[in-house]
């Protein structure tokens, strides 16, 4: 293709984006746009799937049948989100299994929050409230993402995530109105999940190299720091309703900015966890790799059977 043509295509592409016209799978798009989306959507899909593990741990130990059913339904929703997202990745020409192999080899990342352990029942409510809450902040903005299939998938995902966030909050209301032991369990979970939840928005804007281009392409609508601030502002009053203390001595309302101030984030911890040194990185990837390896014969059987059926039909 001639350089002029390419420039013209890029210009038309950007014009569509500027006019808020969605980009669809068969439309022309810059390679970098495609690559960015494949990376972002597949990482989002991996996060949903890896995210099933800490919560899935508690399905067999849920304290009553209603909570067990709610948790089953929630984790099943996460698996469903993974499915839509892998399908979105496929519309960009990527292979689902290849992106999963990238997860297992460590090439592809997923949300670091799932490398923290879920050690008590209160963690389940806290994950719903804080982790799904933080995810919603990101995902509501993604409903307006310039890439059509991703944006549409996100609309459905957001509806379910906001349900999960409310379920998590409701579960914590029960704990916080319960016995001192239950309240202490909820506070302990808050202490462990607060900072990792804030880290979910990613590095600060000045440390986030891909952000500017993603904003121009309207894959991203708000910066990491803007989303993090919105999350803190929305969550502090909810913690007050629960009567839980946020583990940050510097957290206070700032009249001037109209936002809450909070302590600097421990970015060293963030990068350590991203790069494989979180408490559960190894266990999470091992569990996913094991599921794939141990399921190989099942997939082979399904393929072999389908082939036999097809042969019988043509015979």
Partner 1 sequence: MKNEDLYNYVLRLGDDSLILGQRLGEWCGHGPILEEDIAMTNISLDLIGQAMSLLDYAGVLDGQGKDHDALAFLRFENEYRNALLLEQPNGDFANTMMRQFLFDAFRKPLYEKLLESTDMQIAAIAEKSLKETRYHLKHTSEWVIRLGDGTDESHQRAQTALDLLWRYTDELFFQTEEDTTLISLGMVPSMSEIKAEWSKTVLSVLEEATLVIPTNNWQFEGGRRGMHSEHLGFLLADLQYMQRAYPNMKW
Indicate the residue among 4 and 296 with the shorter CB distance to partner 1.
Answer: 296
Q: Please, what is the minimum distance in Å from the beta carbon of residue 173 to partner 1?
A: 11
Q: At what angle do helices 224-242 and 148-176 cross, to 10 degrees?
A: 30
Q: How far is the CB of 181 from partner 1 (least distance, A)?
A: 7
Query: Minimal distance in Å, beta carbon 254 to partner 1?
Result: 37
Cβ nearer to partner 1, comparing 62 with 143: 62
Q: Which residues pair with 197 in a beta bridge?
A: none
Nearer to partner 1, 228 or 284 (CB): 284
Task: Report the b/e string of 280-305 with b at 16+ CB within 10 A.
Answer: bbeebbebbeeeeeeeeeeeeeeeee
Residues that bind partner 1 (CB under 8 A): 49, 52-53, 56, 59-69, 72-73, 75-76, 79-80, 82-83, 86, 121, 171, 174-175, 178-179, 181-182, 287, 290-291, 294-302, 304-305, 308
Nearer to partner 1, 55 or 202 (CB): 55
Q: How far is the CB of 125 from partner 1 (least distance, A)?
A: 10
| 116-138 burial: b if 16+ Cβ within 10 Å, else e | bebebbbbbbbbbbbbbbbbbbb
Token pair, residue 95, equals 């292979």
CA–CA separation, 241 and 127 (whole Å)? 17
CA distance 225 to 211: 11
Q: Select 100 or 141, whichever has its Cβ closest to partner 1.
A: 100
Length of the chain: 315
We find the least distance from the C-beta atom of residue 211 to partner 1, in angstroms, to be 30
């Amino acid at each position: 293709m001639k350089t002029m043509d390419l420039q013209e295509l890029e210009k038309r592409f950007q014009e569509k984006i500027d006019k808020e016209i969605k980009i669809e799978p068969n439309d022309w798009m810059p390679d970098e746009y495609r690559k960015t989306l494949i990376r972002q959507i597949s990482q989002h899909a991996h996060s949903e799937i890896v995210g099933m593990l800490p919560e899935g741990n508690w399905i067999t130990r849920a304290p009553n049948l209603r909570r067990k059913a709610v948790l089953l339904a929630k984790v099943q929703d996460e698996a469903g989100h993974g499915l839509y997202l892998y399908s979105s990745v496929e519309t960009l020409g990527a292979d689902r299994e290849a992106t999963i192999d990238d997860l297992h080899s460590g090439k592809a990342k997923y949300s670091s929050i799932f490398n923290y352990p879920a050690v008590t029942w209160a963690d389940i409510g806290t994950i719903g409230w804080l982790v799904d809450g933080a995810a919603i902040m990101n995902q509501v903005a993604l409903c307006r993402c310039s890439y059509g299939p991703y944006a549409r998938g996100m609309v459905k995902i957001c509806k379910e995530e906001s349900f999960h966030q409310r379920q998590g909050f409701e579960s914590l209301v029960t704990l916080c109105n319960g016995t001192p032991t239950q309240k202490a369990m909820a506070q302990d979970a808050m202490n462990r999940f607060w900072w990792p939840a804030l880290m979910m928005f990613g590095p600060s804007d000045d440390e986030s190299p891909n952000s500017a281009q993603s904003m121009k392409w309207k894959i991203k609508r708000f910066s990491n720091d803007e989303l993090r601030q919105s999350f803190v502002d929305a969550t502090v009053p909810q913690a007050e309703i629960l009567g839980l203390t946020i583990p940050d001595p510097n957290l206070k309302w700032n009249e001037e900015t109209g936002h809450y101030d909070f302590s600097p984030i421990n970015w060293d911890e963030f990068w350590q966890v991203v790069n494989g040194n979180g408490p559960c990185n190894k266990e999470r990837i091992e569990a996913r790799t094991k599921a794939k390896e141990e399921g190989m014969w099942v997939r082979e059987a399904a393929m072999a059977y389908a082939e036999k059926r097809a042969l019988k039909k043509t015979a």
